[in-house]
Amino acid sequence: MKSKVDRDLRLLTNFARIYCDNKHASLDKTIWRSSHLGLSENSREKSLRLCQECRDLLEYAATKRKQCPLDPKPMCKKCRIHCYSSDYRSKIRNVMRFSGTYMIKHGRLDLIIHYFF
Ligand code: SF4
Ligand SMILES: [Zn+2]
């Protein structure tokens, strides 16, 4: 059974992919591998391409998720610690808002059932 951390890392990866595909279509991108997060890759993730900004944000958010000291982890927006810097916090909320709406419109409620921001 997949761990909660792995599940959240996959969700973060999906959020970043959707955001970058739709908002940064014209930017230079490089292949980004989910194995960087210690995850096995599914076929979609093998061809995941991200711009530098989304790559930085995803890696920052993944590090915070892996290092989260709270168990059970609350939704970050309800957290008393708020471990993100204000800049990254603002960026991840934009990505969550856009990609969460996108997933709902495309019937992927299963992916955001554990929506955590
Ligand atoms: S904001 Fe709070 S819940 Fe979210 S990763 Fe940081 S410490 Fe954990
Ligand atoms: Zn991007």
Q: Tell which atom from ligand 1 comes closest to the C-alpha of 76.
A: 4
Expressed as residue numbers, the domain containing 83 is 4-112
Helices (H) and strands (E) in the chain, counts: 5, 2
Q: What is the pLDDT along the chain (117 residues), one digit of tens a residue?
A: 468 888 889 889 999 999 999 999 999 999 988 877 777 766 566 678 999 999 999 999 999 999 999 998 888 888 999 999 999 999 999 999 999 889 888 877 666 655 555
Compute the distance between CA of residue 63 and CA of residue 54 in angstroms, rounded to an integer.
Answer: 14
Residue 117, in any domain of the structure = no
Residue 49, in any domain of the structure = yes
Residue 27, in any domain of the structure = yes
- 65 touches ligand 1 (CB under 6 Å): yes
pTM of the predicted protein model: 0.88
Residue 40, in any domain of the structure = yes
Ligand 1 pocket test, pick from 57, 71, 73, 77 with the greatest ligand atom count within 8 Å of Cβ, gives: 73
Distances (CA, A) of 80 to 69, 75, 111: 12, 10, 26
Distances (CA, A) of 14 to 7, 71, 81, 87, 95: 11, 23, 25, 21, 10
Identify the nearest ligand to the CA of 56 by its number: 2
- 79 touches ligand 1 (CB under 6 Å): yes
Number of domains in the chain: 1
H or E element, residue 23: helix 4-23
